[in-house]
């Protein structure tokens, strides 16, 4: 017996055995020199690179060093027998998927079963014919090749997943930056002008939202306000919304139209933001509040509208049926007027706040939203808005809204000169 | 959302079941495209089993309406549920796409 592994480089391979035999390495572990030499010679003649070891312990060292494609192991050996060798291979993270052909004189079912339990993949009788040896070796190598391919693919997949996760993290960081930018475009809660309180809550359905709004000073006497809703979701909708938001800036409208007349703003926006080739469009509600009188003029382009909540009177919707932007390039929009009194509240909202389904699929709806607003008359503006969001979340029994949800509220906190209807 | 196509002598009826929303736009587009390629001149979208249409769904309907008009074809809607009808009314959709309560009226293209 030798204590060293003895590699034998094979003869010219037989092309008929297939490409997998060309570089296949077989480790033959057998304590009986004559059997080992004879088997090694046979395998070498078949074109394999054959490594030899005289017991399991030496075989294990060679296996760890050479990572052979197939292990042919004798059952009975000194120092480390075939079954113990199988245990060691299956317990080694680097070698556990190796293919083991257990060579034995035993063929009793109980022993075969024990061999399989301990980790052998197949058996080879010491008295096997040349044909059987070839067949079992080929089968073992075929399995070995498939297992290695699977391992390689698994490694590649793991690497791809890591790359994907990295890219995803980068994209998410970009989206967060974009979301922060969009958020910075929204008006600051508080008091945009003397006598007006502003509060809002906004929860985009994705990182970037397509529903945007603004409350801005037009001139010393006028406050402009709008809420827009882009159809669809995601980055594309958010970019389109940001583009419309830029268009709706007070200075741009004053330059283009000479005023912030809501109907004219919608007419101009309708011309410039047509229905996209994918069916994307905006709905938009625009209002202009005359601060000295409290007179609010407003117009809507397919938007669900605004809700006027008065201290004494029942709340009412400020909207009219009209095409969204881009549906009809020649569309004209009607401007309506209403007078706001001190303590009146005006809520602009996106449909995402009330189009939330209960677990059974029933929508919360405009009426329930209106009830929530009416129920909050005695609380602060921000508390009323917060209670609407809480009620909607309670209805859907989820924190996350399926669509962008926004509620913007303004409250007149100062007496105006004139409260008659305009 | 599921769409079943019924071919009748006067056109094609798409029986839609589920919500016509952003998430299902590809299914709806594919059904319309199939009808268009079949040379359909009268496309009827049956909304009886549709509980909700979102803004993206509305946009698709309008886009289909505009595209069919260019090909001298038309789209109409059948039996929308009350909430869907409310959403459509708010966006003036009935002025653009006829709504029918009876299938035979939709097939004949006559006012309900």
What CATH number does residue A216 fall under? 3.60.40.10
Instruction: Examine the pLDDT at A144 and tell me if it is beyond 60.
Output: yes
| C-alpha–C-alpha distance, residues A422 and A338, integer Å | 6
Residue A394, both tokens: 């309670």
Contact residues of B toward A, CB < 8 A: 22, 25, 51-52, 54-56, 58-60, 62-63, 66, 83, 89-92, 95-96
Q: Is residue A267 part of a domain?
A: yes
Task: Verify that A129 and A205 share a domain, yes or no.
Answer: no
**So where are chain B's domains?**
2-108
Distance CA B105, CA B68 (A): 19
Q: Do B52 and A324 touch (CB under 8 A)?
A: no
Task: Find the range with the poorest average confidence among A76-90, A148-162, A181-195, A202-216.
Answer: A202-216
List of long-range contacts for B14-17, beta carbons under 8 Å, 24+ apart: B14/B43, B14/B44, B14/B45, B14/B46, B15/B46, B15/B48, B15/B49, B16/B45, B16/B46, B16/B47, B16/B49, B16/B50, B17/B49, B17/B50
Residue A414 pLDDT: 64
B57 min Cα distance to partner chain A (Å):
9
Instruction: Give the pLDDT score at A125.
Output: 85
> Of A134, A155, A176, at which residue does a domain stop?
A155
Residues B55, A283: C-beta atoms closer than 8 Å = yes
pLDDT tens digits for range A62-115: 999 999 999 999 998 988 999 999 999 999 999 999 999 998 876 778 888 888
B62/A327 Cβ within 8 A:
yes
Quick one: A213 and A311 in the same domain? yes
Q: Kindly report, residue by residue over A19-44, the tens digit of the pLDDT.
A: 444 579 999 999 999 989 998 998 99
Mean per-residue pLDDT, A47-64: 94
Of all residues in chain A, the one with the smallest CA distance to B67 is: A277
Alpha-carbon gap: B26 to the closest alpha carbon of chain A (Å): 11
The pLDDT value recorded for residue A219 is 94
Q: What is the mean pLDDT of chain A?
A: 88
Q: Does A140 reside within a domain?
A: yes
How many angstroms away from the CA of A141 is the closest CA of chain B?
Answer: 47
Residue B85 has a pLDDT of: 94
Residue A14 has a pLDDT of 47
pLDDT at A18: 45
Q: Is the pLDDT of residue A237 over 90?
A: no
Q: Tell whether A192 and A143 lie within a shared domain.
A: no
Number of domains in chain A: 2
Q: At B2, phi and psi to the nearest 5?
A: -125, 145
Please list every residue in chain A whose beta carbon sits closer than 8 Å to the beta carbon of residue B83.
Answer: 363, 365
B interface test, pick of A273, A284, A327 with most B CB neighbours within 10 Å: A327
**Average pLDDT of the segment spanning A5-22:** 43
Least CB–CB distance from B51: residue in A323, A351, A361: A361
Instruction: Provide the shortest C-alpha distance from residue B98 to chain A (in Å).
Output: 15
From A334's Cα to the closest Cα of chain B, the distance in A is 13
More confident call, A210 vs A3: A210
- What chain A residue is nearest to B89 in terms of C-alpha separation? A321
DSSP B38: T
Task: Report the gap between the CA of B34 and the closest CA in chain A (Å).
Answer: 17
Pair (A280, A405) in one structural domain? yes
Which residues of chain B does A319 touch, with a Cβ-Cβ cutoff of 8 Å? 90
In a domain, A181, yes or no: no
Q: Which residues pair with A234 in a beta bridge?
A: none
Range of the domain at A339: 186-412
Contacts of A322 in chain B (CB under 8 A): 91-92
Locate the chain A residue with the closest alpha carbon to B18: A361
What string of H, E and C letters represents the secondary structure of chain A? CCCCCCCECCCCCCHHHCHHHCCCEEEEECCCHHHHHHHHHHHHHCCCEEEEECCHHHHHHHHHHHCCCEEEEECCCCCCCHHHHHHHHHCCCCCCCCEEEEEECCCCHHHHHHHHHHCCCEEEECCCCHHHHHHHHHHHHHHHHHHHHHHHHHHHHHHHHHHHHHHHHHHHHHHHHHHHHHHHHCCCCECCCCCEEEEEEEECCCCCCCEEEEEEEEECCEEEEEEEEECCCHHHHHHHHHHHHHHCCHHHHHHHHCCCCHHHHHHHHHHHCCCCCCCCCEEEEEEEEECCCCEEEEEEECCCCEEEECCCCCCEEECCCCCCECCCCCCCCCCEEEECCCCCEEEEECHHHCCCECCCCCECHHHHHHHHHHHCCCCCHHHHHHHHHHHHHHHHCCCCCCCCEEEEEEEECCCCCCCCCC
Predicted confidence band at A348 (pLDDT cuts at 50, 70, 90)? very high
Cβ of B63 and A403 within 8 Å? Answer: no
Confidence check: pLDDT of A346 > 90:
yes
Chain B residue with Cα closest to A325: B91
For B83, the closest of A232, A277, A363 (CB atoms) is: A363
Query: Do residues A193 and A311 both lie within one domain?
Result: yes
Chain B residues close to A327, C-beta within 8 Å: 62, 91-92, 96
A168 assigned to some structural domain: no
- Whether the per-residue pLDDT at A148 is higher than 80: the answer is yes
Please indicate, yes or no, if residue A130 is contained in any of the structural domains: yes
Superfamily of domain B2-108: STAS domain (3.30.750.24)
Tens place of pLDDT for every residue, chain B, 112 residues?
A: 899 999 998 899 999 999 999 889 899 999 999 999 999 999 999 999 999 998 889 999 999 999 999 989 999 999 999 999 999 999 999 999 999 999 999 988 754 4
Chain A (366-405) residues lying within 8 Å, Cβ to Cβ, of chain B = 403
Nearest by CB to residue A321, choosing from B56, B59, B90, is B90
On whether residue A87 sits in a domain, the answer given is yes
Token duo for residue A349? 């909202």
What ipTM does this complex have? 0.84
Domain shared by A218 and A128, yes or no: no
With a cut of 60, say whether residue A193 has pLDDT above it.
Answer: yes
Pair A328, A269: CB distance under 8 Å: no
| Sheet order of strands, A99-104 included | A49-53, A25-29, A70-74, A99-104, A122-125
Residue A169 lies inside a defined structural domain of this protein: no
> In terms of Cα–Cα distance, which of A325, A350, A221, A204 is closest to A274?
A325
A210 or A194: which leads in pLDDT: A194
**A26 in a domain, yes or no?**
yes
Q: Do A232 and B92 touch (CB under 8 A)?
A: no
Whether residues B96 and A327 touch (CB distance < 8 A) is answered with: yes
Percent of chain A with pLDDT over 70: 92
CA distance B60 to chain A (A): 5
- Please answer yes or no on whether B92 and A355 come within 8 Å at the CB atom: no
Question: How far apart (Å, rounded) are the C-alpha atoms in residues B19 and A324?
Answer: 21
What number of CA atoms fall less than 13 Å from residue B82's CA on the CB side?
A: 3
């Amino acid at each position: 017996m030798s204590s060293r592994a003895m590699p034998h480089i094979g003869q010219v391979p037989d092309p008929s055995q297939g490409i997998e035999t060309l570089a296949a390495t077989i480790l033959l572990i057998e304590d009986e020199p004559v059997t080992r030499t004879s088997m090694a010679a046979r395998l070498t003649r078949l074109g394999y690179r054959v490594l030899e070891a005289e017991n399991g312990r030496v075989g294990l060292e060679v296996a760890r060093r050479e990572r052979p494609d197939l292990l042919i192991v004798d059952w009975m050996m000194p120092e480390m027998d075939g079954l113990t060798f199988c245990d060691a291979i299956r317990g080694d993270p680097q070698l556990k998927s190796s293919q083991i052909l257990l060579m034995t004189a035993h063929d009793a079912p109980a022993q075969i079963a024990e061999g399989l339990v301990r980790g052998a993949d197949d058996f080879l009788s010491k008295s096997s014919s040349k044909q059987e040896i070839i067949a079992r070796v080929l089968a073992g190598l075929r399995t070995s090749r498939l297992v290695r391919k699977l391992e390689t693919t698994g490694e590649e997949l793991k690497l791809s997943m890591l790359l994907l996760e990295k890219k995803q993290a980068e994209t998410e960081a970009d989206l967060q930056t974009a979301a922060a930018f969009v958020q910075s475009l929204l008006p600051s809660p508080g008091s945009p002008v003397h006598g007006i309180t502003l509060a809002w809550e906004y929860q985009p359905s994705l990182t970037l939202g397509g529903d945007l709004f603004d409350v801005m000073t037009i001139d010393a006497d006028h406050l402009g306000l709008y809420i827009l809703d882009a159809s669809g979701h995601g980055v594309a909708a958010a970019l389109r919304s940001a583009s419309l938001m830029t268009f709706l800036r007070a200075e741009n409208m004053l330059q283009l139209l000479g005023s912030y007349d809501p109907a004219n703003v919608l007419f101009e926006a309708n011309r410039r933001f047509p229905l996209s080739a994918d069916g994307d469009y905006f709905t938009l509600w625009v209002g202009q509040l005359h601060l000295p009188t409290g007179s609010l003029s407003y117009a809507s382009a397919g938007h669900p509208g605004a809700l006027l909540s008065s201290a004494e009177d029942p709340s009412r919707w400020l909207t009219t049926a009209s095409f969204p932007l881009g549906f009809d390039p020649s569309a004209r929009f009607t401007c309506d007027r209403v007078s706001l009194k001190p303590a009146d509240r005006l809520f602009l909202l996106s449909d995402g706040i009330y189009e939330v389904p209960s677990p059974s699929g029933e929508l919360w709806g405009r009426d329930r939203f209106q009830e929530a607003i009416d129920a909050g008359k005695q609380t602060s503006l921000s508390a009323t808005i917060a209670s609407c969001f809480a009620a909607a979340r309670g209805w859907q029994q989820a924190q996350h809204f399926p669509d962008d949800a926004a509620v913007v509220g303004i409250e007149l906190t100062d007496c105006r000169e004139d409260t008659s209807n305009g | 959302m599921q769409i079943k196509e019924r071919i009748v002598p006067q056109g094609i009826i798409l029986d839609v079941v589920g919500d016509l929303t952003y998430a299902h736009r590809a299914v709806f587009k594919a059904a319309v495209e199939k009808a268009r390629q079949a040379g359909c001149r009268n496309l009827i979208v049956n909304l009886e089993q549709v509980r909700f249409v979102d803004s993206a769904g509305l946009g698709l309907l309008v886009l289909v309406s505009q595209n069919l008009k260019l090909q001298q074809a038309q789209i109409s809607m059948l039996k929308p549920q009350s909430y869907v009808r409310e959403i459509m009314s708010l966006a003036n959709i009935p002025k653009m796409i006829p709504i029918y309560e009876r299938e035979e009226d939709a097939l004949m293209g006559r006012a309900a």
